Structure 1
Amino acid sequence: MKWLFLFVVLLNAAFLSWHSFVQDKPEKAKESIYGPPVSEKIHLLTESLAVTEQDYNTGMVSSESIEDALSKVIDEATGDQPELFCPRLETERQEDIKQVSQVLKDFGWPYQEREVTGKRAKFWLYIAAPETPAIAERIVKELASKSIDSFVINRAEMKNRISLGLYSSKERAEQAKLRIQNLSGYRVDVYEHMRNVPLRQIDIEEPIDEKDWEQFVSRFDLTKMMIKLEKNPC
């Protein structure tokens, strides 16, 4: 009986020892079936960056080179296009308007014409008032004999002055002044002032480049015309 009891005790001790050994045995770590792509390199925080300063500068230079090339192409394309403008012509003389209208028709350019009022410089030629109205009348007769048109002014502030005409061009006024002085022997004065006058404006409605504009203007003798030319943006 004593031996049976001892056998049971030893059997229990053996079972406990085996169970404890099984619990303490570590499990084999399972390998992950996932992995990074073969072509992708993973960098740890402690590792230095793979992109060097030289690589960065090379990339910047390449980017700047592309931008410079694109900018150059844009500049060249812009430079090849002629500058366009929509001219305006302005004159107060009917004969100038007729001439401009005819040339515009020859070129086939559409235009719009309108009447406006504006100030223009005028140049009045006159001989200073003599001492008496009788002397003024005598001077007018002398001038008429030399084919010079004139008349005596009767207004108070200009009484007895002898008017010789009104000119729109300073150059023409000076030429007339010298001619009358040489023919008559009297001193001629020029009074420049501004006057409101009716004007005709002609707006060309088609964009024009410099080459076409020069060809158009070459059709006129600007020295004989009272015309104002403007190259306005369209």
Structure 2
Amino acid sequence: MKKVVGIVINVILWLFVVFAALTTVVVFTGTSNNGVGNLFGYMPFSIQTQSMEPTIKAGDVVIGKEVDFNTLKEGDIITYWTTVDEQKILNTHRITKVISNGKGSVPSFKTKGDNNQIEDEYTVAAADIVAKYNSKISGLGKAVDFLETQKGFFICIVLPLILFFLYQLYHFIKVIVTVKQENAGLSKEDEEELKKKAVEEYLAKQKEEQEASEEK
């Protein structure tokens, strides 16, 4: 039973490491991409207003995907850059009209929030479009907003990772100390061989637990 509990704990820890790694990639790509995190072409956006209700609610996280603006059509939901009170922000609204600017030219778009009575006053340029709506995760917006802050990233990602590696280091040292105590009085050569074997067994065990977590 104790062994099973240990395996479960390690699986959970390795799953967290994978999550932390993916979150780190999103955060760092966002830092170098105007605050827009990108993971294999997919981008999370925290919705702040009620303009797209009931389709998308305030507090939801929208997962957008990179898109060729030439494939966009009326009815698609897009996330794009716009300016509100002289501040550049991301907005997520539905396309109500595709405006053709002549053969071979780049189209522009009229948009509207599902919960709004009138269309947006501005026209969205193709260059301002960041992503097309792909899916959403309800109610996760505040958590994502917190993770994007330095404090949130440290508390939720960095600190747990430090504790994880300290936990692994503790078990590694414990194995070495146990082997040394059990084999006191052996020759130096035999002791080194046993230490080597203990390290190999420890690494093999970690590999098995990691493979188990990946299968989950």
Report the TM-score when normalising by structure 2: 0.22
Structure number with the bigger relative contact order (C-alpha 8 A, sep ≥ 6) is 1
Report the TM-score when normalising by structure 1: 0.21
